[in-house]
Amino acid sequence: MKKILLILSLIFIFFLSLNYFYLQYISYLRIENNLQKNIKQILSDIKYENGKWDTTLYFQDTNTPFDKPLYIFTDRGFVIERMNQINGFFDTAQFEYSNSFSSPKTVTTQTNTTWRVYSLPIERNKKIEGTILTAYYDPNLQILSDIDQLLVENARQIDTFIEFKNNKLNADKLDSKNIHHSIYFSVIDRFNKVIKEDGAPPTFMDRSYVSNELLVTKSRQIIDKKTGEHFLALSQPILDKNQNTIGIIIIASSLKNINSILKDQRDFLIFSGSLVLIFILILIVYIYSKKIQAIKYISPNKISFDKINSCILLDNYSIPFEYASIQYDLCKTLFVSPGKRWENDELLEKNRMDEDNSQRVFYDASIRINNKIFDKIGTKLIIYKDKTYTINPDLLLKIVKL
């Protein structure tokens, strides 16, 4: 019985564990499949022919997942897109390049897009700690002066929100809503780390990051180093017609909600599994206690009463009584006729006792005798029922007269 309960409990725990890992696998697989659909959609929007990029359809596509972290880089490290960044993940840029536009300048990028850009050094304590790159997409040559004014003014506006604490730039107070809607920007410290970014102003990152990412062939989890939030990320190379790698797409999805559900499932597994194990432990302790208790009892083949030595003999084991005591008289009488039922009056008469004696004398004596016998054989010797006394019927076959 114990083994059966243990096996059933282990099967129950295994089922819960299997259910948890299956739920995790299916949930992550669905997220990964959705990410693959997003990548397929983005790849269909991005064109590359004769060494030239065309991202027009991509930027016009309203189905692009704007709520997910999304990175698109060329093989040369040019940043096409970096949206909803994960802290500590591809949040780098080339400081020297981003700080090279001391006056507004028009640039044409690798993706054949035109930008008007401007760099404002972030100076703190008479030292340049970073740069602010502001950009305007597809500038109208007829209003360049107005655009340049927007670039400069917004760069200065951004600078007012940037703090410098513990030798680090901090842009937590910078809200994109405070910046003109047509201005894209990037805040980069002198160590090439992107502190804050909105949109994808023209910038480059270290090409080695792109080459390393191409080695990743499976989805993996990424942890935001600032918030601790977990993301499932998927990478996909961008290939030209000759199957040469020209860039890479990385898209991620937050695991916050699914991990919360999985945590509840895991907590339930631990709780229910603990209850089952506690139940098993209690059951095992109970079973073993019964076995231990059974071990301490003896199972005599012969039970007799020795009138001379005033004791009950369980085989060779002796349980003594005081000679001529009520217990002695009761045993002497019962063992003479083991199968007989004795009324209290009969016992008084048999032992020549006054009828004025208490009706409880033999009852109390039977209890004391039973206590001594029970400690040895685990059952009563004398049965009291309907005001009569008799030897336990289960022991009659073992009664031997001396």
| Alpha carbon 50 to chain centroid, angstroms | 51
Dist. CA 359–CA 180, nearest whole Å: 107
Q: Counting Cβ atoms within 10 Å, is residue 13 exposed (0-12), middle (13-18) or buried (19+)?
A: middle
The answer for residues whose C-beta is within 8 angstroms of residue 54's C-beta and 6 or more apart is: 46, 47, 48, 111, 112
Mean model confidence pLDDT for the chain:
88
| Alpha carbon 65 to chain centroid, angstroms | 29
Reference 342, options 378, 381, 387, 305; nearest CA is 387
Dist. CA 120–CA 131, nearest whole Å: 6
Q: Which amino acid is at 44?
A: S
State both tokens at 18. 């299997």
Residue pLDDT, tens place only, 186-233: 999 999 999 999 887 899 988 887 788 888 888 999 999 989 999 999
246 with 48: CB under 8 angstroms? yes
Residue pLDDT, tens place only, 54-89: 888 888 888 888 889 999 999 888 999 988 989 989
Q: Is 50 helix (H, G, I), strand (E, B) or coil?
A: coil
Q: pTM for the whole thing?
A: 0.63
DSSP 245: E
Dist. CA 53–CA 59, nearest whole Å: 13
| Mean pLDDT of the region 335-352 | 88
Residue pLDDT, tens place only, 356-394: 556 788 999 999 999 999 988 889 999 999 889 999 999
Dist. CA 273–CA 267, nearest whole Å: 10
DSSP 337: S
Domains of the chain: 93-200 (no CATH), 303-398 (1.10.10.10)
Please state the length of the chain. Answer: 402
Residue pLDDT, tens place only, 137-162: 999 988 999 999 999 999 999 999 99
In the chain, the percentage of residues whose pLDDT exceeds 70 is 94
Dist. CA 137–CA 145, nearest whole Å: 15
